Amino acid sequence: MVDAKTKPVSGNLHVGTMGWSYSFWKPNFYPKGLGSEDFLSYYSKLLDTVEVDSTFYRIPRSETVIEWKQQTPDGFLFSLKFPQKITHIKMLKDAQEETRVFLERISLLEEKLGVQLLQFPPMFRQEHFSLLKDYLAILPKGYRYAVEVRNKSLLSADLYALLKEHNVALAWVDAAKMPLAEEVTADFLYVRWEGDRKTVTGTLGKTETDRSEQIKAWAEKLEALLEKDMPVFGYFSKYYSGFPTWDASELLRYSRKAS
C-alpha cells in the first residue's frame, strides 16, 4: 500500500505513474469504496505527478483540464502526451493548428503543467529527422518538451544535438524493445519505465514481477543528477512490475535512502 510517506524527498524529484483511472488498483491502492470521480484527488495526496495518457487520443476539453487542476493540491504536476494526430497520423506535417490548440488547452493547468511528451511510433525513422527538426524550430517556447523515439535508427549524435539545441529532453525509456539511451539533452530529465506487455498483465492490481533491484539501481543512477539540482520526472507503466504505484513508492523510498 502506498502511503503519504512516499511523497518526494527532493523538490526536483517527481515520480508517478502513467495514468490514474484504474479501478483494478482497488483495494491495494485505492480504497475499496472510492468512486472513480475521486481517484485523481486521492492519487494526488500520495504522489506528486502523473503522466496523462488520454491526451494522446484526444485534446481535452477546457472544463476537463480545469477540473484536473482543481482536484489536485499545490505542487502537483501533470505531464501530458501530445495527441497522436500530431505524432502518429500527421507525423508532424502541417500540425500547427492541432499543436496550437493542444498547448493552449493544457496551459490552463498553469503552475501545475509539467512536461509535454512527443512520443513517436516505430515508423518514425531517421528519414523523418528533418520533420522533427522543422517542428522543434516552431514549437512555442516556455514549455518543457520531451521526445521518445521507438526506432533505433533515430538514436544518433544528430538527434542528441538537435534536442540540446532546443532544450528538449530525450526520454530515457526502460522497455523491452528499445535500448536505454542515457543522453542528457535538456536542463531536466524525463524517464519512462514501460516494461514488457508480453510478460506482465498489468491489470491484476498487484506486483507480478519483482523489480526491486532494478528500481534501487535506478534510484542510484538518478541521484547523481539530483545532486546537480536537475529536475527529474519519472513515470511507471502498469507493465513494468504490474503495480506502478508501488514502483513509484519504491523509487522514492530508495531515493530517500540515497539522499
197: burial class by Cβ within 10 Å (0-12, 13-18, 19+)?
middle
3-class secondary-structure state, position 6? helix
125: its cell numbers: 525513422
The predicted structure's pLDDT at residue 256: 78
The predicted structure's pLDDT at residue 11: 72
The predicted structure's pLDDT at residue 7: 46
Question: What does pLDDT average to over the chain?
Answer: 94
**What are the extents of the domains in the chain?**
4-258
Amino acid at 219: A
CB 5 within 8 A of CB 255: no
Whether residue 27 is preceded by a cis peptide bond, meaning omega within 30 degrees of 0, is yes
Q: Measuring CA to CA, how many Å separate 155 from each of 24, 163, 164, 213?
A: 36, 11, 14, 27
CATH top class, domain 4-258: alpha beta
Please write the tens of the pLDDT for every residue from 181-227: 999 999 999 999 999 999 999 999 999 999 999 999 999 999 989 99
- Who's near 19: CB < 8 A, 6+ residues apart? 50, 51, 52, 53, 54, 238
Q: In the chain, what are the helix, strand and coil shares in percent, each to the nearest 5?
A: 40, 15, 40
Q: Report residue 258's pLDDT band, with 50, 70 and 90 as the boundaries.
A: low
83 secondary structure, DSSP code: P
Q: Please state the rounded mean pLDDT for residues 4-28.
A: 81
Whole-model pTM?
Answer: 0.94
CA 19/CA 72 separation, integer angstroms: 14
Q: Flag whether pLDDT at 87 surpasses 60.
A: yes
CA 168/CA 144 separation, integer angstroms: 7
- Who's near 86: CB < 8 A, 6+ residues apart? 92, 95, 98, 99, 102, 118
Measuring CA to CA, which residue among 61, 29, 26, 59 is closest to residue 43? 29
Amino acid at 161: A
Please write the tens of the pLDDT for every residue from 52-72: 999 999 999 999 999 999 999
